[in-house]
A and B are shown apart, each in its own frame.
Chain A
C-alpha cells in the first residue's frame, strides 16, 4: 500500500475510461484519476483528468460532478491562462450553464451572474455572443418567457463563430422553441433535416426525436411518431443515465397512445437511473411521466402492478406488488415538492404549470397500438 501515485496509474485510468460509454463506471474511474493526479501534482495531468471527467459527467447523468470539476478548471484558466486551452474551457461553459438550472439550490441571482460571467469571458476572448443569447433563451424560459423569446431572436441575428453550437444543435433548439410557442407544424417542418438524417451530432437526433413525439400526436401523424419513438428510444437506451429526461418524453408518448405494456417496461428500466439523480430537473421530468403513467393505469381500473423496481428506490416494496394509485400518489407528491423548490427559486409557477400540463395530456389520449411488441422487446433494451 502506497501513499503516492504515479502518472502511469493516472494514464492507465484514462485508458480504462476511454473504452467506456459516459456513465457511472466511467465517471468513477475518472474521479479516481482526478484524485490520483492531484496526489501526483502534475498540472497537465490534473487538468486533463478533469477535462475527461467534465465530459463523462455532463453526458453521463452527473452534471453536479461536471460543475465541480469545471469550476476548478476555470480557476486554473484564470490563474495560468497560458497553460490552458482557452477555446476548450470556454466551450464547456455552455455545458455547465445548460444544466445549472436543474439544481434548485442554485439561486436565480447566481444563474444570472454566471450568464454575465460567461458573456464577459466570451467577449474578452473575442468570441460571438450568439451562444450566450441562445443560452439565455433556454434559462429565462423558466421565469420570463417574453424575455426568453427576445434572446432567442437576438441570438439568431448574431453571427456564428467557432463557439457556436453545431448546425444540428441550433436547429434542435429552434424546434424546441417552436414547440414552446405552440407551433407543432412548424416544429416538425424545422426538424425535417434532422429526421432525414442530414443534420446530426452526438446529442442530435436523440433529444429532437423525443421532443417531436407529442407534437406529432397532436398533428395526428401517429405513424411518424411511432417511427421516431423506435429510432429515438434506441438512442436513449444506449445512454441511459444521461437520458432520463428524454426517456420521460417517450414514456408520456406511450401513455398517450395507450401502449401501456411498453410504457411499464420503460418505466421500470429507467427508474434505477432516475431515482438517485442529483439533477433534480431530470428527476422531476421522470417522476412526472411516471405519475402520469400510473395515474392513467389507475383510472383504467388497474389496481395493482407487479413491478421490478430497484432496491434503492424509496418506495420499494419487498414483495414486488404495488398499489397503482398509492404509487401514483407517491410520485405526484415528489413532483409537487420538487416543483415548489424550483418555482420558489425561479419566482414563477413554471414547474407547477408543467404538472398541470402533463395532467392535461389525458385529453390528448389517442389509442394507437404499436405492433410487434415481442420484436420490440428483443431489440436489446
Chain B
C-alpha cells in the first residue's frame, strides 16, 4: 500500500517566509505576477482584450483589521482549476501545452498565492472563468491552517480574479496604502497593463503611468538625456555622471547603464536592477556585464534570459555570454564616441573610472591605442597621464614593483629621472604592452639595481682612496647578506641607500618569522627559503658626495668605523621601511651605546 506525504501548510509558510522569500513584501510581486499571467492567458484566446489590474486598500476592513483587494480581468478559474491550482502546492496553471505559450509567463513555481499567507491568515479568491459565457462565479476561502472551502455565488461578476487578503496581526505595515503603492510600483512599474490603486474611497490613481525611457520616443537629445537621468535618479536615488542606452538582441535585453558618479571599489560586487518580462526580479543581479565594466549600474528588462532560483544572477549559458558581450560592446562604443566627440567629458569620466578603462585596454588592442594616452599613472613626479609623460620623456621608464618604486622614487627626482609606478593593478601589463602597440617608443624597466648603475662612479683616484673603506664596510655588512658599494648621487644629505629586491624582502620576512617559530615551523621556513632565494643579496650604496661618508672613508679607527657603518645600515633599513630583525636590533642598541661611550671618552666629540 502506498501512502501520501502529509504536508503541514503552517510549516511550509514558515519555510517560505524565512527561507525562500527575502521579504514579506514579495507577496505583492506574486500577486502582480499571477495577475499579469492571467491577463496573458486571456489574450491568447481574446487577442484584443485590454488587461487591467486594480488594487484597493481598506485601512479599516473586516474585524477591524486592514484588508486589501487585488483584482485582474484575466482568464479566471473554473472549479476544477481551483482545486488543481489554488490548493495544490507545486502545481501551476501556467504550463501551457505549447512551448511558445509557456515562455510568456513570468511565474513558474506554483507557490505564488501561498506567499500571501506570510502576511494574511485568510485568503479569499472570487473568480470567474472567461472560457465560457456560462462560467459560474466561485468563491474560494483558504486558511493558513491548511483548510479551504468553496462556494458558488449567485452574482455573475465580470470574468477575472479578485483576491482579498485580511491582514495578519503584525503585518499592518504591509497594508498601509503608501507601502502598497510603493511595492506595486517597485515590482510593477514596467508592466504593460495599467495598475491602479484605490484607497479610502478616493479616486483610483495609476501606479505605473510612465513607461521607462527606452520605451519612449524623444523630440531631441536634451529631452532624451533628461528623461534617462531622471529615471536613473528615481531608480537608484543617485545623481549619475552619464547614461548609456543598452540594447542586445540576444537575451532580448533593453535598458540603461548609468555611469557612477564616484570611483567604485574593486572588491565589492557589481549588481544591477533587472526586470524579467517587465517584472522586477532582482535589484542585485550579478554577471550581466563583462568584468571590466564596473563603472556603471544598470537597470534592464530581459525577455529571454533565465534567472537562477535565487534570482540574484542568471544561468551562465551561451546566451548570457553573448548578451554580456553585446552589452559590453554598447559600453565600449559609448566610450569611443565620448573620446571622439567630447574629450573633456571623457577626461572627467577617466578621472573617476580609469580602472575600468585600464581593464578593458589590457585585452583590447584597438581600444588601447585610442585610450592609453589619456590614462593616469603614478610617477615619481606625481600623477600624470601617459600622454603627458610621453610628451616630457622619450623613454617610457617604469618600475613593475610597488616596493621598488617607493625605494627608487626617493632618489629618482634628484637624478632627474621620472619613473612610472607599474605596481598597481593592470599597470605593468599596460606598460609592457606599449612596445607591442607603439614599437617606436623605447621602453625601459627600471629596478633599484639598474638605478644604482645610473649613479655616478667615483674617479680612479677617488676609488683608490675609498677602496679600504668599501672593503671594510663590505666585511661588516656581509653577515647581514648585504654588500657595500660607493657611488655619488643626489640628494647629498642622504649618506646611504639600501637596495633590496623582492627576493631579499622575502628572505628577510622568512628570517623574521623563524626568530619566533618553533622547531617544526622554523625548519619548514628554512627549507622554503633555501629552495627559493638562497642567494638573495641586498646592497647598501654609500654616497661619496655626502660629507659624513667622505669623512668615514678616511677614518682609521676601526672600532668607530664599524659602529658607524652599522648605524648607517640600520638607519637606511628604517628609512626604507624595513623592520629590524633581532641581529639588526642588537646592532642598533650596541651601536648607540658604543657611540655614546666613545663620545664621552673623547672630549670635544668628533675628532678630525
Contact = CB atoms under 8 A, between A and B. Distances in A.
Contacts of A381: 291, 363
Given A64-B528, A71-B517, A19 B509 contact: no
Contacts of A226: 318
Contacts of A20: 266-267, 425
B503 to A, nearest CB: 10
B517 A372 contact: no
A110 B328 contact: no
B430 to A, nearest CB: 13
Contacts of B425: 20-21, 23, 25
B577 A32 contact: yes
B520 A72 contact: no
Nearest to A23: B425
Given A75-B518, A378-B325, A67 B524 contact: yes
A278 B517 contact: no
A278 B432 CA distance: 22
Contacts of B531: 103-105
B265 A380 contact: no
Interface string A96-121: 00001001111100100110010000
Interface string A70-82: 0110111011000
Contacts of A3: 571, 574-575
B416 to A, nearest CB: 19
Interface string B528-539: 101110000000
B513 A32 contact: no
Contacts of A105: 527-528, 530-532
Contacts of A74: 517, 521
B402 A25 contact: yes
Interface string A12-46: 00000011110111001101101110110000000
B373 to A, nearest CB: 21
Contact of A65 (B313, B325, B509): B509
A237 B362 CA distance: 12
Contacts of A100: 524
Contacts, number: 157
B264 to A, nearest CB: 9
A198 interface: yes
B387 interface: no
Chain A's interface size range is 35 or more
Nearest to B493: A1
Contacts of A308: 436
B527 A72 contact: no
Interface centre among B310, B315, B316, B518 (most CB of A within 10 A): B316
A159 interface: no
Interface string B285-312: 0000011110000000000000011100
Nearest to A380: B290
Contact of B516 (A24, A25, A72, A234): A72
Nearest to B510: A68
Interface in A235-289: 237-238, 272, 278
A230 interface: yes
Interface string A367-381: 000001001101111
B512 interface: yes
Contacts of A375: 321-322, 325
B96 interface: no
B520 A117 contact: yes
B423 A24 contact: yes
A197 interface: yes
Contact of A378 (B328, B406, B527, B528): B328
A72 B364 CA distance: 43
A193 B383 CA distance: 48
A71 B512 CA distance: 10
Contacts of A272: 429
B524 A379 contact: no
A234 B423 CA distance: 24
Given A25-B402, A39-B577, A78 B518 contact: yes
Q: Is the interface of A mostly helix, strand, loop or mixed?
A: helix
Contacts of B423: 24-25, 28
A67 B528 contact: yes
A227 B316 contact: yes
A311 interface: yes
Interface string B121-141: 000000000000000000000
A5 B513 CA distance: 21
B509 A197 contact: no
Contacts of B532: 64, 105, 278
Given A1-B575, A65-B506, A71-B521, A107 B527 contact: yes
Nearest to B571: A3
Contacts of A76: 516
Contacts of B530: 105
Nearest to A15: B265
Interface residues of B, number: 64
A71 B324 contact: no
Contacts of A35: 577-579
A102 to B, nearest CB: 11
Contacts of A311: 432, 445
Interface string A337-379: 0000000000000000000000000000000000010011011
Given A380-B293, A380-B328, A1 B410 contact: yes
B329 interface: yes
A43 B514 CA distance: 18
Contacts of A69: 509, 513
B308 A197 contact: yes
B403 interface: yes
A226 to B, nearest CB: 8
A114 B524 contact: yes
B597 to A, nearest CB: 23
B59 interface: no
B513 A71 contact: yes
A100 B524 CA distance: 10
A7 interface: no
A309 to B, nearest CB: 11
A379 B290 contact: yes
Contact of A379 (B325, B517, B518): B325
A1 B445 CA distance: 26
Interface string A196-226: 0110000000000000000000000000001
B109 interface: no
A376 B290 CA distance: 11
Contact of A38 (B268, B322, B329, B579): B579
A114 B514 CA distance: 16
B360 interface: yes
Interface string B350-388: 000000000110011000000000000000000000000
Nearest to B314: A197
Contact of B328 (A29, A68, A75, A379): A379
A38 B403 CA distance: 16
B402 A71 contact: no
A326 interface: no
Contacts of A128: none
Task: State the 5 A-B residue pairs at the shortest beta-carbon distance, nearest first.
Answer: A105-B531, A380-B290, A38-B579, A3-B574, A19-B265
Given A20-B267, A69-B509, 17 more contacts: A19-B268, A20-B266, A20-B425, A21-B267, A25-B423, A28-B423, A32-B406, A64-B506, A67-B528, A75-B516, A106-B528, A110-B523, A113-B520, A230-B318, A375-B325, A380-B290, A381-B363
14 contacts: A19-B265, A25-B424, A28-B423, A39-B577, A64-B528, A71-B525, A72-B513, A103-B531, A197-B308, A197-B315, A227-B317, A310-B432, A375-B322, A380-B363
